[in-house]
Amino acid sequence: MPTGRPKKYSPATLWKKAAEYFAWNDKHPLIERKVFSNGYSTNLKRMRPLTETSFCLFAGIDENTFQRYKGHDDYKDFWAVTECISKIIYQQKFDGAAVDFFNANIISRELGLIDRQKFGFDLDELSEENAKKVAKYVLELHKKNSK
């Protein structure tokens, strides 16, 4: 076991903190102020994407610590928990992008689902319609590769 400062979490308490983060995330959606052409305005609740960065902030740990928990041999007892946390975060972002809750361009790049070179165009220059086509393609590719 590594020497130094004692760990802030055990695998069980890290999982408990992750569950608290997921619940907090659900209870604190992003708010979008929507103004309509007739002058009416309203606040819309939007799903907040989960991220490992925001989880680390919520848990009060450094991202490097989380990365060590995920893969360093000295932290094998954390591997299953961190793998599950990462998969939940990944899946929530993927699902949100697939149903247009999140920007498919941003989420696809963050999840590593799109290789800029493969498509032969700049993703930042995509129209909304083409971005949806790319997201649909990525979703189909993901489904095919998951089988």
- Let me know: does 61 contact 33? Beta carbons within 8 Å: no
Please report the pLDDT score of residue 60 as a whole number: 96
What integer pLDDT is reported at residue 110 of this predicted model?
A: 72
Cα 2 to Cα 102: distance, rounded to the nearest angstrom: 39
> Radius of gyration over alpha carbons of the chain, in Å?
19
Q: Are 49 and 99 in contact (CB under 8 A)?
A: no
What CATH architecture applies to the domain 6-101?
A: Orthogonal Bundle (1.10)
CA atoms within 13 A on the CB side of 101: 17
pLDDT along the chain (147 residues), means of 10: 72 96 94 90 90 95 94 92 93 80 72 58 66 72 63
Structure tokens at 66: 């989380």
Residue 76: its pLDDT value, please?
93
Tokens 């995920």 correspond to 70
pTM, rounded to two decimals = 0.67
Domain positions in the chain are 6-101, 103-147
pLDDT score for 123? 57
pLDDT of residue 147: 56
CA distances to 12, 45, 113 from 52, in Å: 18, 22, 17
Distances (CA, A) of 88 to 15, 20, 75, 78, 134: 12, 13, 20, 16, 23
